[in-house]
Amino acid sequence: MLEGLVCQESLDMSVLERLKWLQQQQHQLQHVVSQSSNNSPELLQQILQLHGSNNDELLQGGFSQFQMIGSGFGPNYNMGYVPSHEAMDGCISRTSSCQMDPVDAMDVLLKNGEEDKPISLKNKRKAEVKTREEEKTEKKIKVEAETESSMKGKPNMRNTEASSKETLKEVSEIPKLDYIHVRARRGQATDRHSLAERARREKISKKMKYLQDIVPGCNKVTGKAGMLDEIINYVQCLQRQVEFLSMKLAVLNPELELAMEDASVKQFQAYFTNVVGSSKHSIMVDVPLFPLDQQGSLDLSAINPNQATSIEAPSASWETQSQSHYNTSSLGFQY
């Protein structure tokens, strides 16, 4: 069940699915179901661990464990949507130029899925095409890179020939300080402005490709307009999610009386880190975090010497990070 959900979600992360997920969440908000969320923790961990080094700390840093804790809104959307989103992110964002790695990752991830073979084949074909294309455009990219590197204030580009004979764009000379000698493509204008315009457009399309890797589900749409639509939709979705989650938090907030008690403050650290249920090390951690004046006083002197023994890796990093960021983040307003 779970694998099917993951496979399906990771492939078809379209707007419709996202909307459905949002609706699901809203329904679940109405009736809080208490389920045991120990459906398949091993499988989830397995899936999440396949993502490799990129999102290791993210995922293994308690997110998967954390899904186990919260059962209020069902494990379905939790494990279905988010890890698959993670999967896409991890798979695709790992490589920028070569498309071979996502293939392997996708293969491993979908090892139980029904769509295994066709998807992997499709990706391999895509990869082959990509590598061939890359060889062709390699020189072009070189030219572009050199163009960009030498374009400081004014782009100074000179053409050797306004040639219509050449079909490939080549670098005819090693660029000097400011001049790039370019041979224009067949049938394209060669004056300065249009060349600069072309370079600018290529820059933009390169960045759009990068965005395409980030936004899930953008591979199916081609063309700038469609991709832009997808990207805009995705941003809107994320913003709506933030709004929705803040509404949820607002609902939960007064019932639990959050930041006024010590116990809940220590629990927060447990939410984001790996360890569940042991609050000893987290006490050590939250002392530098929350030195604010609260009603329930944090006894710094009492807590500190007791917990000096075993500091695990995530909480240690938490502490150092929190110290550094707490010191540097001082913009002086009340939020």
Partner 1 sequence: MASSDKTINTDVPEKDVFAIHFLQSLSNLTTQNPFNSPDTTNYRARKIKKAAYVSMAKAAGGSSRLWSRALLGRAAKENNKIVRFARRKRKVTWKISSKRRSDQRAPEATDRLRNLVPGGGTMETSKLMEETAHYIKCLSMQVKVMQCLVDGLSPK
Binding to partner 1, residues 191-220 (CB under 8 A): 196, 200, 203-204, 207-208, 210-211, 214-215
CB closer to partner 1, 187 vs 254: 254
Write each residue from 7 to 36 as x if it is in contact with partner 1 (CB under 8 A), else as -, in one continuous string: -------------------------x-x--
Among 142, 176, 186, 224, binds partner 1 (CB under 8 A): 224
Q: Residue 269, Cβ neighbours under 10 Å: how many?
A: 24
- 179 contacts partner 1 (rule: CB under 8 A): no
CB-nearer residue toward partner 1: 111 or 200 = 200
Question: For the range 3-6, what are the long-range contacts, defined as Cβ-Cβ under 8 Å and sequence gap of 24 or more?
Answer: 3/43, 3/47, 3/112, 3/113, 4/113, 4/114, 5/76, 5/79, 5/80, 5/84, 6/47, 6/79, 6/80, 6/83, 6/84, 6/87, 6/109, 6/113
Q: 264 near 291, Cβ under 8 Å? A: no
Is the CB of 110 or the CB of 265 nearer to partner 1? 265
Told to check if 54 binds partner 1 by CB under 8 A, we report yes
* Contacts of partner 1 in 105-144 (CB under 8 A): none
Provide the mask over 306-325, with x wherever binding to partner 1 is found by CB under 8 A and - wherever it is not: --------x--xx--xx--x
User: Which residue in 129, 162, 189, 251 binds partner 1 (CB under 8 A)?
Assistant: 251
Distances (CA, A) of 38 to 59, 71, 261: 17, 9, 29
CB–CB of 258/264 below 8 Å? yes
**Cβ closer to partner 1: 46 or 236?**
236
The single residue among 171, 231, 287, 303 that binds partner 1, judged by CB under 8 A, is 231
Closest approach, Cβ 213 to partner 1, in A, equals 9
Per CB under 8 A, does 326 bind partner 1?
A: yes
H or E stretch at 159: strand 157-159
Applying CB under 8 A, which part among 90-98, 108-116, 180-188, 304-312 lies near partner 1? 90-98
CB-based burial, 68-99: b 16+ in 10 Å, e otherwise = beebebbbbbbbbbbbbebbbbbbbebeeeeb
Rounding to the nearest 10 degrees, give the CA dihedral for residues 320, 322, 325, 329. -150
DSSP state of 260: T
> Does residue 89 bind partner 1 (CB under 8 A)?
yes
From 4-12, 115-123, 172-180, 260-268, give the range in contact with partner 1 by CB under 8 A.
260-268
Q: Is 232 in the site for partner 1 (CB under 8 A)?
A: yes
Per CB under 8 A, the list member of 293, 297, 309, 310 interacting with partner 1 is 293
